[in-house]
């Protein structure tokens, strides 16, 4: 614990700049220093910045990115004349994950080879994860933006913290040790969000205290369940400065419970694999500041018209990703935009709240509790799947529906699925697989990757 407290300032002032700038020759640290003051520019300057960036990106896409080149020509869009997403909206232009999935190569700029780019994967709530590409330089910028958002809540690089997050399933000992080392280097204690039963959560509380963590970063459900477990067993909570939640909808009752039990503020953050950090609360808790120097975020109604103060669909243009540009990308999330000023001095536009996605948890017959994201993470290495859905048939039976991608023999896919879920058998859960041509949508016309038919629940 003493070590983690001493290591914090050392990491921030010495280890991080040296490692990033000198050893790895990256720009995360220098970008972080450069962008700290941008939110304090005037609203006019911020607006000018994003208009200039939008026009530059569109002109580039018109020349170098096959999908947009074709789209602009079909819709008669002259990129050199567009400096506002409104003009794209009026020409009916937007893209979806499905379009990227079907034309993936056409979304990559002709200036880059895929092999030279950094790849991560979209969350894949309804289908197999989609590969997302960016240059190493832009990846550094996204990391710098994440660090800047943390600065808004008073958390500086190297502050001892705990992270409760998902990971690939069935990792070996060496892989687990490497992962912990990666996080320890940044002064984080990594805790798995895959197993969030009471016993594990109580162990986590002890580990967080021993580590001297000042912040917990987590999906909403694990840290909320941790608060409930602390309360139930009358355990002393760790002494924290804040809890940062993300990746799931944060309900008021959950926030209240966590603030009550942990006796510290909860800061909600909105992000996704495509754009990393989209917006984050600051210390004033008046909504979330959008990282508007990099992302142009719109909230629109069913007719694609912008709405303020009411719920709408989130559409995002990434102003800086030139390798795989996202222009008016429909995120399949809902949020509420506000024109309120925060009062903290930062002039980035704000989201009032994120309605976002819900992620449910699954309880096995032996009480083993699993975070819903477990089911997504576990499929990362399974070939042959185009789309999937889990159906909770009963407490001990989960049916997995699969639409195949036609690239892998069916037997191979089924074998790999069974292998991936093998550890569930130890908890009394049986997985069956059903290959199908279609998966029905929910009443709202959306795709749900986890539904329950147990006890009549839907």
Shortest Å, Cβ 237 to Zn ion: 27
Residue 267 CB, nearest approach to Zn ion (Å):
11
Segment near Zn ion (CB under 5 A); pick from 49-57, 247-255, 328-336, 341-349: 341-349
Smaller CB separation from Zn ion, 282 or 382: 282
Rounded to a whole number of angstroms, the minimum distance from the CB of residue 276 to Zn ion is 20
Q: Is 117 in the site for Zn ion (CB under 5 A)?
A: no
Nearest distance, CB of residue 395 and Zn ion, angstroms: 45
When asked if residue 154 is in the footprint of Zn ion (CB under 5 A), the reply is: no
The answer to whether 453 and 391 have CB atoms below 8 angstroms apart is yes
Q: What is the dihedral of CA 113, 116, 117, 120, to 10 degrees?
A: 110
Q: For Zn ion, which is the closer residue by CB, 346 or 418? A: 346
Q: How far is the CB of 359 from Zn ion (least distance, A)?
A: 27
Span 19-58, contacts to Zn ion by CB under 5 A: none
Asked if residue 284 binds Zn ion (CB under 5 A), the reply is yes
Determine if 342 is a binding residue for Zn ion (CB under 5 A).
yes
Interatomic CA distance for residues 395 and 67, integer angstroms: 46
Nearer to Zn ion, 123 or 349 (CB): 349
Query: Nearer to Zn ion by C-beta: 63 or 284?
Result: 284
Check if the beta carbon of residue 405 is closer than 8 Å to that of residue 384: yes
CB of 343 to Zn ion, least distance (A): 7
Compare residues 176 and 284 and give the one whose CB is closer to Zn ion. Answer: 284
Q: Which stretch binds Zn ion (CB under 5 A): 15-23, 51-59, 241-249, 337-345?
A: 337-345
Measured from the CB atom, the residue of 344 and 355 that comes closer to Zn ion is 344
- Given the rule CB under 5 A, which of 103-111, 124-132, 278-286, 447-455 is the region that contacts Zn ion? 278-286
Smallest distance from Zn ion to CB 333, Å: 22
| CA angle centred on 358, ends 182 and 227, rounded to 5° | 65
Nearer to Zn ion, 200 or 338 (CB): 338
Number of residues that bind Zn ion (CB under 5 A): 5
Nearer of residues 124 and 349 to Zn ion, judged by Cβ: 349
Tokens of 18: 């040296």
Residue with smaller CB distance to Zn ion, 40 or 386: 40
Q: How far is the CB of 249 from Zn ion (least distance, A)?
A: 21
- Interface with Zn ion, residue 87, by CB under 5 A: no
3-state secondary structure string, the chain? Answer: CHHHHHHHHHHHHHHHHHHHHHHCCCCHHHHHHHHCCHHHCCHHHHHHHHHHHHHHHHHHHHHHCHHHHHHHHHHCCCHHHCCCHHHHHHCCCCECHHHHHHCHHHHCCCCCCHHHCEEEECCCCCECCCEEEECHHHHHHHHHHHHHHHHCCCCCCCCCEEEEECCCCCCCHHHHHHHHHHHHHCCEEEEECCECCHHHHHHHHHHHHHHCCCEEEEEHHHHHHHHHHHHHHCCCCCCCCEEEEECCCCCHHHHHHHHHHHCCCEEEEEEECCCEEEEEECCCCCCEEECCCCEEEEEECCCCCECCCCEEEEEEEECCCCCCCCCCEEEEEEEEEECCCCCCCCCCCEEEEECCCCCCEEECCCCCEEECCHHHHCCCCCCCEEEEEEEEEECCEEEEEEEECCCCCHHHHHHHHHHHCHHHHCCCCEEEEEECCCCCCCCCCCCCCEEECHHHCC
Q: How far is the CB of 316 from Zn ion (least distance, A)?
A: 20
Residue from 41, 56, 202, 344 binding Zn ion (CB under 5 A): 344
Q: How far is the CB of 292 from Zn ion (least distance, A)?
A: 13
Q: b/e per residue, 365-387, with b = 16+ CB within 10 A?
A: eeebbbbbbbbbbbbeebebbeb
Minimum CB separation of residue 241 from Zn ion in Å reads: 17
Instruction: Name the one range near Zn ion by CB under 5 A: 92-100, 175-183, 284-292, 443-451.
Output: 284-292
**Which CB, 47 or 198, lies closer to Zn ion?**
47
Nearer to Zn ion, 103 or 284 (CB): 284
Report the residue from 153, 191, 282, 429 that binds Zn ion according to the rule CB under 5 A. Answer: 282
* Residues 346-375: x where in contact with Zn ion by CB under 5 A, - otherwise, as a string: x-----------------------------
Which residues are paired to 401 by β-bridges? 389, 434
Instruction: Please list every residue from 406 through 435 that binds Zn ion, using CB under 5 A.
Output: none
Which range touches Zn ion (CB under 5 A), out of 185-193, 209-217, 225-233, 279-287?
Answer: 279-287
Residues of this chain that interact with Zn ion (CB under 5 A) are: 282, 284, 342, 344, 346
């Amino acid at each position: 614990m003493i070590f983690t407290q001493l290591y914090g300032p050392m990491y921030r002032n010495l280890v991080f700049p040296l490692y990033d700038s000198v050893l790895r020759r990256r720009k995360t640290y220098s970008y972080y220093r450069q962008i700290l003051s941008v939110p304090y520019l005037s609203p006019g300057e911020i607006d000018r910045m994003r208009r200039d960036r939008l026009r530059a990106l569109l002109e580039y896409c018109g020349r170098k990115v096959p999908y947009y080149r074709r789209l602009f020509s079909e819709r008669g869009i002259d990129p050199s004349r567009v400096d506002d997403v409104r003009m794209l909206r009026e020409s009916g232009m937007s893209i979806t994950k499905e379009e990227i999935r079907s034309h993936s190569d056409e979304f990559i700029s002709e200036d880059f080879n895929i092999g030279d780019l950094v790849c991560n994967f979209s969350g894949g709530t309804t289908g197999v994860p989609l590969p997302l590409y960016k240059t190493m330089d832009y990846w550094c910028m996204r990391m710098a933006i994440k660090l800047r958002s943390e600065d808004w809540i008073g958390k500086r690089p190297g502050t001892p913290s705990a992270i409760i997050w998902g990971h690939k399933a069935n990792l070996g000992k060496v892989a687990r040790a490497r992962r912990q080392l990666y996080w320890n280097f940044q002064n984080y204690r990594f805790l798995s969000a895959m197993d969030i039963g009471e016993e594990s959560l109580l162990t986590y509380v002890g580990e967080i205290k021993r580590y001297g963590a000042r912040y917990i970063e987590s999906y909403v459900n694990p840290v909320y369940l941790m608060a409930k477990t602390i309360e139930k067993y009358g355990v002393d909570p760790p002494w924290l400065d804040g809890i940062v939640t993300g990746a799931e909808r944060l309900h008021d009752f959950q926030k209240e419970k966590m603030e009550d039990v942990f006796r510290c503020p909860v800061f909600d953050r909105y992000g996704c694999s495509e754009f990393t950090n989209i917006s984050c609360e600051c210390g004033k808790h008046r909504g979330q500041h959008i990282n508007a120097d990099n992302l142009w975020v719109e909230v629109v109604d069913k007719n694609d018209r912008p709405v303020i103060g009411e719920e709408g669909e989130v559409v995002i243009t990434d102003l800086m990703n030139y390798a795989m540009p996202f222009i008016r990308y429909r995120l399949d999330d809902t949020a509420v935009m506000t024109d309120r000023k925060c009062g903290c001095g930062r002039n980035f536009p704000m989201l009032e709240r994120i309605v976002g996605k819900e992620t449910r948890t699954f309880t096995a017959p032996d009480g083993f509790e699993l975070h819903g994201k477990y089911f997504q993470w576990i499929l990362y290495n399974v070939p042959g799947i185009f789309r999937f859905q889990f159906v909770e048939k009963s407490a001990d039976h989960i049916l997995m529906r699969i639409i195949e991608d036609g690239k892998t023999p069916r037997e191979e896919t089924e074998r790999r699925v069974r292998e991936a879920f093998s550890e569930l058998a130890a908890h009394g859960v049986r997985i069956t697989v059903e290959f199908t041509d279609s998966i029905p949508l929910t009443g709202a016309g959306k795709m749900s990757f986890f539904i329950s038919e147990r006890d009549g629940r839907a």
